[in-house]
Every structure is written in structure tokens, then in C-alpha cells.
A and B are shown apart, each in its own frame.
Chain A
Amino acid sequence: MNRNQRIINFLATLAIIVILAVWLSHGAEIFTKTKILVDNTTELDKLLGVKNEIWVDKFILGLDYSVAAISFIIIITIAINYLLKTKRKEL
């Protein structure tokens, strides 16, 4: 493995770790979400015995997109590693 390959592998590993960290911090959901439910219950709602939730736009990274992104990074890394392979001098 040459220096360039080591750099590429390091960056790929870093990117995968970042994706997994974001996925875990978003609650380790299986499917990626674009909206979340937020409690919007008022004091009057409580008096009336009802609760109120609303959809709020928020991106939650799921395992589906994480696996897709990680697979893409691995494929690209393998391809770059192949291209950066040091060619042996012919005897």
C-alpha cells in the first residue's frame, strides 16, 4: 500500500465513522425520515383532555441511507485504491 492509498483509506474510514456517528445521534432509526412529530399541547388542550402533535420538517438519517452511503464509499475507495496501485517495473 502506497502513501496515496493510505490517505484515501484513512479518509474513507473517517467518512464511514462520521456517517455511523450521525446515524447513532439521530436515534439509530431504520428508515430515513423527513419529518418528526413534536408535542404542541397547550394548557387549554390539557383542560380539554386532548393532546396535540404537529409534523415539523427535520431530516433524520436512517440505516437505509447510511448503508447506501457507506457502500458507495467502499466501492469508490476500492476503485481509487486500484487506480493508485504502484505498478511493478517490468524486468
Chain B
Amino acid sequence: MRKLILSFFVLVFSFSLFAQGFNVSSSGEKTFNFTDQGKRNQASFYSTTPLEDITGLTNDINGKVSLKVNDIKSLNGEISVSTASIKTGIDLRDEHLRDENWLDASKYPNIKFTIKEVTEVIQLADNRLQIKFSGDFTLKGITKKISGDATLTYLVESEQTKQRAPGDLLGVQAKFKVKLSDFGVKNKVVGQKVAEEVEVSVNMVGSSAS
């Protein structure tokens, strides 16, 4: 009896180790394109200081991500956003954001993230996974390793998903923190209006059809 219970737990543990993917009707390797013509994908940063909370947001996201549907650790790809497209709600501040002391949009037109590794996986539902990931984040030409959390949701193509795009859809909600001084951003130029560490959030949907 003891061996039976032990075998059961070993079996459960084995499944938790290896069954780290979406349990959906699609299978095999898929590539999701996150370039949305409707500009509904978005990346934002959030900064909080005693003086002011600032949200910067862009809908100009491009990139592709590949994965094996039943093995999320195979996740790889690159996502980029256009630096000049980030808006903060104040036109003058947007201009400052683009200048050379800040993001220097003319010299560095894109901010990139390359997914390198999935370190932890929690299965929230058959089509939803919570992961911890790491990768190379490039800002102002400086690349550093960054880790973050993401929730991935897989929807197999249906009449409802076709409203957004053809093919299977992958919804990604990711968050990670960026220390501005690590990337040569002089945030003290405007009197510490922006926090030294900003939280980056990504909400995007990719389609396997395009």
C-alpha cells in the first residue's frame, strides 16, 4: 500500500515536471505574430514618485514568438516597441522622453526584449499558464538580462477569435522592472519626477496565422 501511495506521488510529481504546456486541441510548434494592424497591443511603463505617478504607453509593438504548444519552456522570440511612439499624456513630456538625455529616440528607435528562458511554470487552466521568464532587454543600445512574470492564454481558432485575427491566438500579460540608470537614462535631469525603477507591463495578443 505504501509503495502504491509513493508511486502515485511520483507520478503526480512527474506530471508536474513534464506537463508544462497548454492542454488544448492544437499541437506542434507555433509562431505567433504580435504585429497588430489594429494597434491594440500595448506596452506601458509605470513610474511612481512622491511628486507624480506617470504612465507611458505605446501601441506600436512588433515581433514574433515561437513555442511548442505542449512545452512552454521552448518559448523564444523577440518583441520590440517603437521608442518615439510612447505617450505619457503630456505632449511636452513626450518630447522630453524622446530627447537624448532620456530615450534618445532618433538614435535608438526601438526598445527590444529577447526571450531566453522560462524558469517557472504554473498551470492555471488548460489554456492558461503563469510563468517566470528571463531575457535580454535592450534600451538605448544597452542590453541587460531582465526577469519577469507573465500569464499566457491560448485560444484555439474559433468564430469569436476570428473577430480579432485569424489563427490561434496567444494572449500575453507580462510585467518586469527596469532600473533606468542601468541603461544610461538620466532621470534626474527633470528633478526626480520619474522613479529610478519603473515597472513595465505588456498586454498583447499574437496570431499564429500571419
Contacts and interface: CB of A to CB of B under 8 A. Distances in A.
A44 B52 contact: no
A37 B89 contact: yes
B66 interface: no
Contacts of B89: 33-37, 55
Interface string B54-65: 010101000000
A48 B205 contact: yes
Contacts of A53: 42, 44, 57
A88 to B, nearest CB: 49
Contacts, number: 60
Contacts of B52: 30-31
A47 B51 CA distance: 36
B169 A48 contact: yes
A48 B87 contact: no
B175 to A, nearest CB: 12
A contacts with B: majority SS? mixed
B166 interface: no
What is the size category of the interface that chain A forms with chain B? 10 to 19
Given A30-B52, A31-B90, A36-B89, A50 B164 contact: no
Contacts of A51: 173, 203
A4 interface: no
Which of B87, B93, B171 has the most chain A CB atoms inside 10 A of its CB? Answer: B171
Nearest to A32: B90
A48 B90 CA distance: 30
Contacts of A31: 52, 90, 93
A52 B171 contact: no
Contacts of B164: 44, 48
B155 A33 contact: no
Interface of B: 40, 42, 44, 51-52, 55, 57, 59, 87, 89-91, 93, 128, 151-153, 155, 160-161, 163-164, 169, 171-173, 203-205
Interface of A: 30-37, 44-45, 47-55
9 contacts: A30-B51, A36-B89, A37-B89, A48-B164, A49-B128, A50-B204, A51-B203, A53-B44, A55-B57
Of all A-B residue pairs in the complex, the 6 with the closest CB atoms, nearest first, are A48-B171, A49-B153, A50-B203, A35-B89, A33-B89, A49-B171
Given A30-B52, A44-B161, 17 more contacts: A31-B52, A31-B93, A33-B90, A34-B91, A35-B89, A37-B89, A45-B171, A47-B171, A48-B155, A49-B128, A49-B171, A50-B153, A50-B172, A52-B40, A52-B203, A53-B42, A55-B87
